[in-house]
Amino acid sequence: MSKVIEMPAPVEQIISQLNVHGYQAYAVGGCVRDSLLGRTPEDWDITTSARPEEVKAVFRRTVDTGIAHGTVTVMVGKTGYEVTTYRIDGKYEDGRHPKQVTFTPSLEEDLKRRDFTINAMAYSQKEGIVDIFGGVKDLEAGVIRCVGSPIERFTEDALRILRAVRFSAQLGFEIEANTYKAIGEIAPNLGRVSKERILAELTKLLLSDHPERITAVYEAGMAPYISPRFAAVAKPLPHISPILPKRKHLRWAAFLQNEPEDAAAGVLKELKSDNDTINRVRILTRWCKMKIIPDKAAVRRIMSRMTPELYDDLILLKESILAEGPERERLKQVKRLTAEIRESGDCLYLRDLALNGRDLMEAGVAPGKAVGDTLERLLEQVLEEPEKNTREALLEMLRTG
C-alpha cells in the first residue's frame, strides 16, 4: 500500500496555510482511507488544532457550517472544504452530530473518537500517514474493526453498528469477530437512532458494490430495531444484481421487489424517505411483478403510466431480475418495440393527444368529470391505434361513442 497520497491542490494549500499560522492540520478519515485503497475520495475533510475562530481568521472566504461542532467550511473557488477542530465527542443524540463536543489540542484524541480503525487515520505531506490504531494493517487485511472497545463505541452511538455493515458492503471487507459480536448485543439501541440517519446508511449500503450484504443487517439482529416494516420484508431476501445502476430508487426497488407496493412504500415511509423516492419505488415495485407482453399496444399502455425515465428504470430493474431464458428474450423484444414507439413519436400521454379538454367542451361534452373521463377513453383508443391521434379521427370517435 503506497504511503504517499496525492491530495488535491486546495487541500494541500489549506493545510500549509494553517501550518504557516502555527497550527497542525491533516487530511483525515474517509479521504485517507479511500486514497490508500486507490479509490477516489468523495470529499476531503481536514482536521486541525486551530479553533473555529482561528480557522476563520486564516482564510478569507469561510462559511459557518457547524461552528458548535468545530466545523468551518473553507471556500476555494466554488468548492468548499470542511475544516474541523480536533475534538472529543460527547454523547450522540438523535441528530447527525454529538450533543456536545470538547475541543482538544491532541490529534490522537481526535482520531480516538472515530468509529473504525480504517477511518481513524490522518495524513499530511510533511508527516505522511498518522496511524495510531492499526488502520493500514486493517485496510490491507480487509477488516472493519472498532477503535477501542466495540461495546463502548457502539454504546456511544448505535448508528456505528449499521455503518460497520455499510463499510463492509462498500469495501468488500469482513467485520472483525469482536466488533461483529458487539453488533448483536447493541442492536436494540438502534431503536433510539433517528430514522434519517438509518436511511442514509441503508441507502449507501444498497448503492455499494455488495448490496447483497444487507442480509447482514437481518442476520446480526438489527432489523427489528430499524422499523417494523423493514423487519417484515419477506425472506429470503431477493438477490440484488450488482449490474443494476447505483441509483437510490432503483436499488431500493430491487431490494423491495417481492413486497406488495404498499408494503414497499411503507418501508421507506417509516424511514422518513423523501416522497419522490417513495413514489418511484411504489411504481417500480408495482410493475416489476407484471409481465410485459411484447406487443406494441401493451408496451404503449405501460409506457403511458409513468415518466419516460421511470419506464427506462423499470426495464433496467426487470433486466437485473430476470435470469437468461424466454422471459429475458421477451424483454429484449419489448426494448425493441419501445425504441420503435419512441422513434415514431406515438402519443403516450394526455398532453400529446390531438384534442384537449376545451376541444371536447366545444364539441358538446359537458364540463366537469365527463371531460377527463372522455380524454382518458380517447387516450386508451390511441394507445391501441396511434394513427388515430388526429383531430378528425378523435372527433369521429367522439361522435360514434
Task: List residues binding ligand ATP (CB under 6 A).
Answer: 29-30, 42, 45, 114-115, 119-120, 157, 159-160
The least CB distance from residue 120 to Mg ion, in Å, is 14
Instruction: Give the one entry of ligand ATP, Mg ion, none that residue 114 binds, where binding means its C-beta sits below a cut-off of 5 to 8 angstroms depending on kind.
Output: ligand ATP
CA 84/CA 49 separation, integer angstroms: 9
Q: Which does 313 bind (CB under 5 to 8 A by kind): ligand ATP, Mg ion, none?
A: none
Are 297 and 383 spatial neighbours (Cβ–Cβ below 8 Å)? yes
Q: Closer CB to Mg ion, residue 27 or residue 254?
A: 27
Nearer to Mg ion, 202 or 267 (CB): 202
Instruction: List the beta strands (DSSP E) in 125-253.
Output: 128-130, 143-144, 174-175
345 Rama sector, left if φ>0, alpha if ψ -120 to 50, beta otherwise: left
Interface ranges with Mg ion (CB under 5 A): 30
Q: Output the residue with the shortest Cβ distance to ligand ATP.
A: 30
Toward Mg ion, which CB reaches closer, 135 or 266?
Answer: 135
As a whole number of angstroms, the distance between CA 27 and CA 14 comes to: 10
Choose from Mg ion, ligand ATP, none: what does 392 bind? Cβ within 5-8 Å by kind.
none
Strands (E), 23-171: 25-28, 45-48, 62-66, 71-76, 79-85, 87-89, 101-103, 122-124, 128-130, 143-144
Residue whose CB is less far from ligand ATP, 119 or 389: 119
28 or 206, CB closer to Mg ion? 28
What single-letter amino acid sits at 288?
A: C
Interaction partner, residue 157 (Mg ion, ligand ATP, none; CB < 5-8 Å by kind): ligand ATP
Of the candidates 347, 355, 350, the residue with the CA atom closest to the CA atom of residue 398 = 355
Looking at the Cβ atoms of 95 and 345, the one nearer to Mg ion is: 95
> Of ligand ATP, Mg ion, none, which one sits near residue 286, judging by CB under 5 to 8 A according to partner kind?
none
Give the one entry of ligand ATP, Mg ion, none that residue 282 binds, where binding means its C-beta sits below a cut-off of 5 to 8 angstroms depending on kind.
none
In sequence order, the β-bridge partners of residue 74 are: 62, 81
Q: Is 134 buried (19+), middle (13-18) or exposed (0-12) by CB count in 10 A?
A: middle
3-state secondary structure of 116: strand
The nearest distance, CB 201 to ligand ATP, in angstroms, is: 9
Angle ∠(111,115,116) on CA atoms, nearest 5:
90
Give the residue with the Cβ less far from ligand ATP, 29 or 211.
Answer: 29
Q: Which three cell numbers stand for residue 386?
A: 396511434
Minimum distance from CB of 147 to ligand ATP (Å)?
Answer: 8
Q: How far is the CB of 36 from ligand ATP (least distance, A)?
A: 12
Smallest separation, CB 163 to ligand ATP (Å): 6
